Amino acid sequence: MEELEIDGLVVRETATGEADKLITLLTAERGRITVSGKGVSSMRSKYAASAQMFAYSTFLLRRRTKYWYIADAFFIDNFMELRYDVERLALANYLCDAACEFAQEEIENEPLMRLTLNALWAAANKKEIPLERIRAAFEFRLAVQEGFMPDLSGCGICGRDVSGEDSTLDVMNGRLLCKKCRTLLENDPEYLADETAKILIRVSPPVLAALRFIEEAPQKKFLSFALERPEQSLLNVVCERYLLNHIEHGFSSLEYYKKVRT
Contacts with Zn ion by CB under 5 A lie at: 155, 157-158, 160, 178, 181
* Residue whose CB is less far from Zn ion, 141 or 175: 175
Cα 157 to Cα 152, 153, 161, 185, 187, distances in angstroms? 12, 11, 11, 10, 15
| Helix segments in 103-224, DSSP class H | 110-125, 131-145, 179-186, 189-193, 205-216
Rounded to a whole number of angstroms, the minimum distance from the CB of residue 198 to Zn ion is 17
Closest CA to 137 of 55, 226, 200, 229: 226
Rounded to a whole number of angstroms, the minimum distance from the CB of residue 162 to Zn ion is 8
Sign of torsion, CA 218 150 122 108?
Answer: negative
Rounded to a whole number of angstroms, the minimum distance from the CB of residue 175 to Zn ion is 10
* Residue whose CB is less far from Zn ion, 26 or 162: 162
* Residue whose CB is less far from Zn ion, 23 or 177: 177
Q: Is 156 left (phi over 0), alpha (psi -120 to 50) or beta?
A: alpha
* Residue whose CB is less far from Zn ion, 123 or 203: 203
- Would you state the torsion angle of the CA atoms of residues 131, 231, 256, 139, taken in this order, to the nearest 10 degrees? -70
Rounded to a whole number of angstroms, the minimum distance from the CB of residue 234 to Zn ion is 21
Rounded to a whole number of angstroms, the minimum distance from the CB of residue 181 to Zn ion is 3
* Residue whose CB is less far from Zn ion, 19 or 184: 184
β-sheet bridge partners, residue 242: none
* Residue whose CB is less far from Zn ion, 83 or 179: 179
Rounded to a whole number of angstroms, the minimum distance from the CB of residue 157 to Zn ion is 5
